[in-house]
């Protein structure tokens, strides 16, 4: 029985920074920085958990045996994001989860471990990394997530693999330096190519019983630009590197980058093609897949690069990436404090968006002892109904400019679900003309409240437009 | 069926402070100011009060919880004092408590007082507050204009009204109240404003501009209520009486059940229907001489006109633009400037409305006097259109 990739998923936040805008704004400084392409920018209420949910939600209609979450920028350091994902995706608590971190290679490491376990698993990697304004990373990095479902009888079988572990420092972050500290590009390129990338790729190809020339598509993480170009030339490999295209269109997604790039590569591949995946960071993971069928989800991933809205204001980008701290006034002093007792009681229903169906069939959120349905006289048990995957329409809405929001305005209103439920909700990914009554919306998990002082956040679902504009048309 | 409280309770004294940015005085001073006016009006001493209801919606803003702030400020003499809070309907809720106490025969003379010290928040607009640790997990934190602004889009969608036309009617609501507020010596905002300025004002919550929003104020107002017999004994030959006080609270239907279209406030309709029945009013358009309604935002007043049955469904914008609710219109609304211009110290507003009707009923409203007034209605609306408490009171004279 062969193991491999059964399906893939990806997510990019809606906003994009056109790097030309940043280059213009920073021209006076003379700083070196990437000047072409786009950087995906997470909303204030997005983080690795919310983006991981978006990337993986289409892959968990049937619960997997295990879930592995990989990120170098997860918010909680002693609260498993995997546990949050189980509840947010309404997966059974018996599912085993693992959080991986501390290396950009965590994404491919998690994938390879899952493949080697031989089980049906979901691997999801997501990043929203802090960067210093003025650094190349501030513009080169992007926010996003990618997910892969492994399984037997796959659409892309694992043909071979190789790994090298090395304390090679191209860049690092630490508790005392939470933004990347990067070393000279030429040193990184020369060393990475020669000592890590070439030997690992050659070993993986050998394990797969192919030569590098047979690789049709590559998803190779490059610690600095043009590594793949050098590697491909040495190996006489003509395959395009889809990770390079991803860097250009959305930025370097960290631990999610190779998995997202693999998704694009699988979408471009045809049955019989060999696809190379390379993860980089404190060493290298190189995996070779043989595509046997169209990989579910792969066709849609490249589309994500072409959708979104370009940020017109550089200061808004600085604000969203935490590069400036604006004085939002006294209204911003309001803090919500979540209580563990309440989260234990209703947290799973909240982050899972679980409402209840009464004996007449009406659905409501949140659940209550006596249903809201006026035809019901007294308390009765409600059947769980997940609202996260239901579509809905706006009943009433406003763009609130008085209430504090880290990225105003604060859109909210009443949302009517097609299944009968009605919920007062925040709205995100606002369309260019704003939200309107009767607009169709879909649900997405976001940060509900951020308590900076206590270092805690809660999550809930918000309503977003069903479709995104094509990039540049929003 | 219950007989109701019509004409069982008379108002013998009322007081109301100047509303506004009262940097000079705290909540205690505001209560003392209103109470002194009411005692003088009633012609009684402090010790005649047998029970009191104090309304305060935001106790954490320099008032304090429980009955004690009022008991201390007014030096009430070990009588039962009850603090009530029902969001923006708090003032009328205090009046309801005092009224019921007298109507039941439990006491002869009771006090209802409402107070708010909003300008001690340090910023404009109402403060943001927790909705409870469980609701905080999912419920959006919209501002007050944010919640009421949603009436506009829903109203336009239901009635097929162009957003610009609706905005013009909303602007007329504010324009009218500014005209009225100019004649109210105790009002917070006393300047008339031109329509163009209202229409071009900065947006607060789409489509509400700054002039679509009421003033956020400090202030206190109070009423001393008693039996009609005692009122006569105090020299009131035809005392002002309470014809009805009704309240209606949401049970989650608007927010959770998929029937409401967001273009009306069902609680206003429920409270109004009960109040009309209690007061014996069959045709409010013909019988009401004036209204003081909860115009926290211009769109709220527009929708209230239909919820109270004063305009046909979908006709409020036209009625407003025709001047039906102007000071010289058929049923003037907010003769004192309303929340919009008199101001909105939340817990005091319901009693401030009653104060204006009380004065109009007695022909004491000075240059605002609307000729002979037989029936006046007050309407308080707390919360948001989708989760509200509505209070309707009707005042008249005993004979």
Q: What's the pLDDT tens digit per position in B66-99?
A: 999 999 999 999 999 999 999 999 999 999 999 9
Interchain contact, A397 vs B153, CB within 8 Å: yes
Asked whether the predicted pLDDT for residue B1 surpasses 70, the reply is no
Q: Closest to A403 (Cβ–Cβ): which among B138, B143, B154?
A: B143
**Mean pLDDT across chain B:** 96
Interchain contact, B138 vs A345, CB within 8 Å: no
Closest Cα in chain A, distance from residue B23 (Å): 19
Query: Tell me, what's the pLDDT at B215?
Result: 86
Domain boundaries, chain A: 3-320, 330-465
Closest Cα in chain B, distance from residue A297 (Å): 31
Distance (Å, whole) CA B6 – CA B338:
25
pLDDT band per the 50, 70, 90 thresholds, residue A474: low
Query: Tell me, what's the pLDDT at A335?
Result: 85
Interchain contact, A402 vs B125, CB within 8 Å: yes
Strands (E), A233-326: 274-280, 283-291, 309-310
Q: Are A425 and A398 in contact (CB under 8 A)?
A: no
Burial of A23 (0-12, 13-18, 19+ CB in 10 A): middle
Residue of chain B whose alpha carbon sits nearest to that of A365? B256
* Averaged pLDDT, A345-364: 97
Interchain contact, A331 vs B251, CB within 8 Å: no
Using the Cβ of B153 and the Cβ atoms of chain A, whether some distance falls under 8 Å is answered with yes
Asked whether the predicted pLDDT for residue A230 surpasses 80, the reply is yes
Q: Which of A172-186, A213-227, B122-136, B303-317 has the weakest average pLDDT?
A: B122-136
What phi and psi, each to the nearest 5 degrees, are found at residue A121?
Answer: -135, 165
Asked whether the predicted pLDDT for residue B37 surpasses 80, the reply is yes
**Rounded to the nearest 10 degrees, how much is the dihedral formed by the CA atoms of A336, A339, A343, A344?**
180
Chain A residues with CB inside 8 Å of B264's CB? none
Neighbour-count burial for B382-395, b at 16+ CB within 10 Å, e otherwise? bbbbbbbbbbbbbb
Handedness of CA A109, A115, A118, A120 (dihedral sign): positive
Mention the CATH class of domain A330-465. mainly beta
Q: Are A317 and A23 in contact (CB under 8 A)?
A: no
Distance (Å, whole) CA A357 – CA A441:
21
The SS3 of residue A109 is: helix
Closest Cα in chain B, distance from residue A451 (Å): 12
Chain B residues with CB inside 8 Å of A342's CB? 133-134, 137
The SS3 of residue A303 is: helix
Residue of chain A whose alpha carbon sits nearest to that of B157? A437
* Averaged pLDDT, B45-55: 97
| Contacts of A142 by beta carbon, 8 Å cutoff, 6+ apart | A12, A39, A40, A41, A247, A250, A251, A252, A253
Percent of chain A at pLDDT exceeding 70: 100
Query: Tell me, what's the pLDDT at A473?
Result: 73
Neighbour-count burial for B41-80, b at 16+ CB within 10 Å, e otherwise? bbebeeebbbbbbbbbbbbebbbbeebebbbebbebeeee
∠ Cα A94 A99 A103 (to 5°): 160
Chain A residues with CB inside 8 Å of B162's CB? none
- Hey, which residues 199-228 in chain B have their CB within 8 Å of chain A? 203-206, 208
Distance (Å, whole) CA B32 – CA A286:
80
Radius of gyration of chain A (CA): 23
- Hey, which residues 253-292 in chain B have their CB within 8 Å of chain A? 253, 255-258, 260-262
Q: How many CB atoms lie within 10 A of CB A265?
A: 35
Q: Are B384 and B148 in contact (CB under 8 A)?
A: yes
Which of B16, B88, B222, B341 is the catalytic position? Answer: B88
Distance (Å, whole) CA B33 – CA B16:
8
Q: Closest to B141 (Cβ–Cβ): which among A330, A337, A403?
A: A403
* Averaged pLDDT, A120-140: 97
A85-103 per-position pLDDT tens digit = 999 999 999 999 999 999 9
ipTM of this predicted structure: 0.94
Q: Are A60 and A115 in contact (CB under 8 A)?
A: no
Distance (Å, whole) CA B395 – CA B355:
10
Distance (Å, whole) CA A400 – CA B140:
11
Distance (Å, whole) CA A416 – CA A423:
7
| Contacts of B55 by beta carbon, 8 Å cutoff, 6+ apart | B83, B84, B85, B86, B90, B91, B93, B94, B112, B113, B114, B115, B347, B348, B350, B351
| Contacts of A322 by beta carbon, 8 Å cutoff, 6+ apart | A130
Using the Cβ of B141 and the Cβ atoms of chain A, whether some distance falls under 8 Å is answered with yes
pLDDT band per the 50, 70, 90 thresholds, residue A53: very high
Is the omega angle on the peptide bond into residue B336 within 30 degrees of 0, that is, cis? no
Q: Are A311 and A317 in contact (CB under 8 A)?
A: yes
**B171-to-B161, B166, B206, B322, B337 alpha-carbon distances in Å:** 15, 9, 14, 13, 14
Interchain contact, B206 vs A329, CB within 8 Å: no
Which of B178, B188, B344, B379 is the catalytic position? Answer: B344
- Hey, which residues 312-371 in chain B have their CB within 8 Å of chain A? none
Q: Which of B151, B67, B155 is nearest to B111 (CA)?
A: B67
Chains A, B: CB contacts under 8 A, how many? 139
Mention the CATH class of domain B144-211+242-397. alpha beta
Using the Cβ of B139 and the Cβ atoms of chain A, whether some distance falls under 8 Å is answered with yes
Closest Cα in chain A, distance from residue B396 (Å): 36
Query: Tell me, what's the pLDDT at B209?
Result: 97
Chain A residues with CB inside 8 Å of B138's CB? 350, 365-366, 423, 448, 460
Which helix (H) or strand (E) covers residue B163, if one does?
helix B163-181
Pairing assessment for the beta strands B203-205 and B208-209 based on DSSP bridges:
antiparallel
Closest Cα in chain A, distance from residue B172 (Å): 21
Q: Closest to A448 (Cβ–Cβ): which among B123, B137, B208?
A: B137
SS3 per-residue string spanning B201-269: CCEEECCEEHHHECCCCEEEEEEEEECHHHHHHCCCCCCEEEEEEEEEECCCHHHHCCCCCCCCCHHHH
Q: Closest to A458 (Cβ–Cβ): which among B123, B137, B151?
A: B137
What phi and psi, each to the nearest 5 degrees, are found at residue B347?
Answer: -65, -15
Q: Which of A331, A402, A415, A445 to mutate to test the interface with B (most CBs of B within 10 A)?
A: A402
Using the Cβ of B159 and the Cβ atoms of chain A, whether some distance falls under 8 Å is answered with no
Q: Closest to B146 (Cβ–Cβ): which among A336, A398, A414?
A: A398
Distance (Å, whole) CA B164 – CA B135:
35
Q: Are B243 and B47 in contact (CB under 8 A)?
A: no
Is B88 one of the catalytic residues? yes
Distance (Å, whole) CA B334 – CA B291:
6
B119-131 per-position pLDDT tens digit = 998 888 888 888 8
Chain A residues with CB inside 8 Å of B253's CB? 372, 374
Using the Cβ of B163 and the Cβ atoms of chain A, whether some distance falls under 8 Å is answered with no
Asked whether the predicted pLDDT for residue A1 surpasses 70, the reply is no
**B18-to-B24, B37, B187 alpha-carbon distances in Å:** 12, 12, 6
Using the Cβ of B162 and the Cβ atoms of chain A, whether some distance falls under 8 Å is answered with no
| Contacts of A236 by beta carbon, 8 Å cutoff, 6+ apart | A212, A213
Closest Cα in chain A, distance from residue B250 (Å): 11
CATH architecture classification, A3-320: 3-Layer(aba) Sandwich (3.40)
Q: Closest to A410 (Cβ–Cβ): which among B122, B142, B157?
A: B142
Domain with CATH 3.40.47.10 in chain B: 10-121+218-240, 144-211+242-397
Chain B residues with CB inside 8 Å of A350's CB? 137-138
Interchain contact, A449 vs B151, CB within 8 Å: no
pLDDT band per the 50, 70, 90 thresholds, residue B332: very high
Handedness of CA B263, B268, B274, B275 (dihedral sign): negative
Interchain contact, A424 vs B140, CB within 8 Å: yes
Pick the CATH number of B10-121+218-240 from 1.10.1760.20, 3.40.47.10, 3.40.50.920, 3.40.50.300: 3.40.47.10
pLDDT band per the 50, 70, 90 thresholds, residue A381: very high
Interchain contact, A342 vs B139, CB within 8 Å: no
pLDDT band per the 50, 70, 90 thresholds, residue B370: very high
Interchain contact, B146 vs A424, CB within 8 Å: no
Interchain contact, B150 vs A334, CB within 8 Å: no
**Mean pLDDT across chain A:** 97
Using the Cβ of B132 and the Cβ atoms of chain A, whether some distance falls under 8 Å is answered with no
Which helix (H) or strand (E) covers residue B153, if one does?
helix B144-159
Length of chain B: 399
Asked whether the predicted pLDDT for residue B60 surpasses 90, the reply is no
* Averaged pLDDT, A378-392: 97
Which helix (H) or strand (E) covers residue A122, if one does?
strand A121-127
Q: Which of A340, A363, A395, A459 to mutate to test the interface with B (most CBs of B within 10 A)?
A: A395
SS3 per-residue string spanning B340-398: HHHCCCHHHHHHHHHHHHHHHHCCCCHHHCCCCCCCEEEEEEEEECCEEEEEEEEEEEC
Q: Which of B13, B9, B48, B5 is nearest to B362 (CA)?
A: B13
Q: Which of A327, A437, A461 to mutate to test the interface with B (most CBs of B within 10 A)?
A: A437
Distance (Å, whole) CA B177 – CA A7:
63
* Averaged pLDDT, B356-372: 97
Handedness of CA B199, B202, B205, B209 (dihedral sign): negative
Distance (Å, whole) CA A224 – CA A337:
42
B132-170 per-position pLDDT tens digit = 999 999 999 899 999 999 999 999 999 999 999 999 999
């Amino acid at each position: 029985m062969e193991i491999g990739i059964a399906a893939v998923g990806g997510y990019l936040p809606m906003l994009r920074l056109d790097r030309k805008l940043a280059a213009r704004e920073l021209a006076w400084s003379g700083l070196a920085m990437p000047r072409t392409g786009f950087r995906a920018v997470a909303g204030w209420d997005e983080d690795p958990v919310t983006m991981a949910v978006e990337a993986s939600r289409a892959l968990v209609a049937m619960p997997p045996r295990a879930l592995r979450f990989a990120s170098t920028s997860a918010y909680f350091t002693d609260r498993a994001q995997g546990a949050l994902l189980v509840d947010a995706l309404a997966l059974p608590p018996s599912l085993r989860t693992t959080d991986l971190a501390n290396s950009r290679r965590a994404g491919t490491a998690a994938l390879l471990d899952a493949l080697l376990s031989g089980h049906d698993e979901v691997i999801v990697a997501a990043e929203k990394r802090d960067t210093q304004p003025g650094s190349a990373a501030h513009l080169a990095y992007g926010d996003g997530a990618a997910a892969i479902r492994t399984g037997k009888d796959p659409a892309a079988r694992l043909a071979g693999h190789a790994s090298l572990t090395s304390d090679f420092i191209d860049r690092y972050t630490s508790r005392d330096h939470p933004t990347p500290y990067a070393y000279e590009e030429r040193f990184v390129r020369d060393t990475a190519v020669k000592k890590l990338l070439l030997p690992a790729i050659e070993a993986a190809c050998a394990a797969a019983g192919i030569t590098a020339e047979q690789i049709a598509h590559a998803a190779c993480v490059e610690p600095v630009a043009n590594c793949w170009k050098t590697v491909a030339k040495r190996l006489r490999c003509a395959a395009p590197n889809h990770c390079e295209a991803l860097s250009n269109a959305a930025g370097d997604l960290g631990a999610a980058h190779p998995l997202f790039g693999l998704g694009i590569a699988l979408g471009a591949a045809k049955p019989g093609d060999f696809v190379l995946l390379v993860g980089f960071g404190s060493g290298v993971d190189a995996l070779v897949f043989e595509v046997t069928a169209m990989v579910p989800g792969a066709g849609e991933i490249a589309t994500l690069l072409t959708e979104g809205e370009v940020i017109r204001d550089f200061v808004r980008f600085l604000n969203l990436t935490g590069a400036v701290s604006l004085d939002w006034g006294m209204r911003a002093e309001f803090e919500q404090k979540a209580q563990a007792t309440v989260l234990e009681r209703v947290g799973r229903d909240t982050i899972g968006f679980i409402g209840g169906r009464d004996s007449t069939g009406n659905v409501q959120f949140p659940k209550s002892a006596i249903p809201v349905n006026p035809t019901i006289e007294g308390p009765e048990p409600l059947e769980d109904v997940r609202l996260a995957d239901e579509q809905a329409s706006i009943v009433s809405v406003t763009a609130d400019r008085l209430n504090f929001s880290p990225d105003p305005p604060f859109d909210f209103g009443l949302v009517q679900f097609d299944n009968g439920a009605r919920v007062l909700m925040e709205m995100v990914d606002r369309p260019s003309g704003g939200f309107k009554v009767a607009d169709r919306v879909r649900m997405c998990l976001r940060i509900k409240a951020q308590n900076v002082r206590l270092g805690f956040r809660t999550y809930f679902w918000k309503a977003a437009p069903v479709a995104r504009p094509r990039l540049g048309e929003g | 069926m219950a007989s109701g409280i019509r004409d069982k309770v008379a108002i013998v004294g009322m007081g109301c402070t100047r509303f506004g940015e009262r940097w000079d005085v705290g909540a205690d001073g505001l209560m003392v100011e209103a109470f002194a006016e009411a005692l003088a009006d009633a012609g009684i001493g402090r010790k005649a009060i047998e029970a009191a209801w104090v309304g305060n919606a935001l106790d954490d803003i320099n008032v304090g919880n429980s009955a004690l702030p009022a008991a201390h400020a007014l030096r009430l003499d070990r009588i039962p004092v009850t603090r009530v809070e029902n969001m923006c309907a708090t003032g009328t809720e205090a009046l309801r408590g005092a009224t019921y106490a007298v109507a039941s025969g439990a006491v002869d003379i009771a006090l209802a007082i409402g107070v708010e010290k909003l300008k001690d928040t340090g910023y404009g607009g109402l403060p943001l507050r927790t909705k409870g640790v469980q609701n905080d997990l999912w419920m959006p934190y919209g501002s007050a204009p944010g919640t009421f602004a949603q009436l506009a889009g829903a109203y336009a969608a239901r009635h097929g009204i162009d957003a610009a036309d609706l905005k013009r009617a909303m602007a007329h609501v504010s324009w009218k109240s500014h005209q009225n507020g100019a004649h109210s010596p105790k009002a917070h905002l006393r300047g008339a404003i031109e329509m163009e300025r209202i229409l071009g004002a900065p947006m607060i919550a789409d489509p509400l501009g700054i002039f679509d929003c009421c003033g956020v104020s400090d202030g206190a107002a109070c009423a001393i209520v008693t039996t009609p017999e005692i009122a006569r004994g105090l020299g009131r030959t035809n005392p002002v009486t309470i014809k009805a006080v009704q309240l209606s609270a949401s049970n989650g239907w608007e927010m959770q059940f998929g029937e409401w279209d967001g273009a009306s406030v069902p609680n206003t309709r429920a409270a109004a229907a009960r109040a009309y029945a209690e007061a014996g009013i069959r045709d409010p358009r013909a019988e009401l001489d004036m209204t003081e309604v909860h115009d926290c935002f211009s769109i709220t007043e527009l929708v209230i006109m239909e919820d109270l049955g004063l305009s046909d469904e979908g006709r409020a914008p036209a009625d407003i633009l025709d001047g039906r609710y102007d000071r010289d219109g058929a049923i003037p609304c907010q003769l004192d400037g309303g929340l919009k211009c008199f101001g909105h110290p939340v817990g005091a507003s319901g009693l401030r409305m009653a104060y204006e009707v009380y004065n109009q009923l007695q022909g004491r409203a000075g240059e605002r006097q609307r000729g002979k007034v037989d029936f006046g209605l007050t309407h308080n609306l707390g919360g948001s259109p989708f989760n509200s408490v509505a209070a309707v009171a009707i005042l008249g004279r005993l004979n």
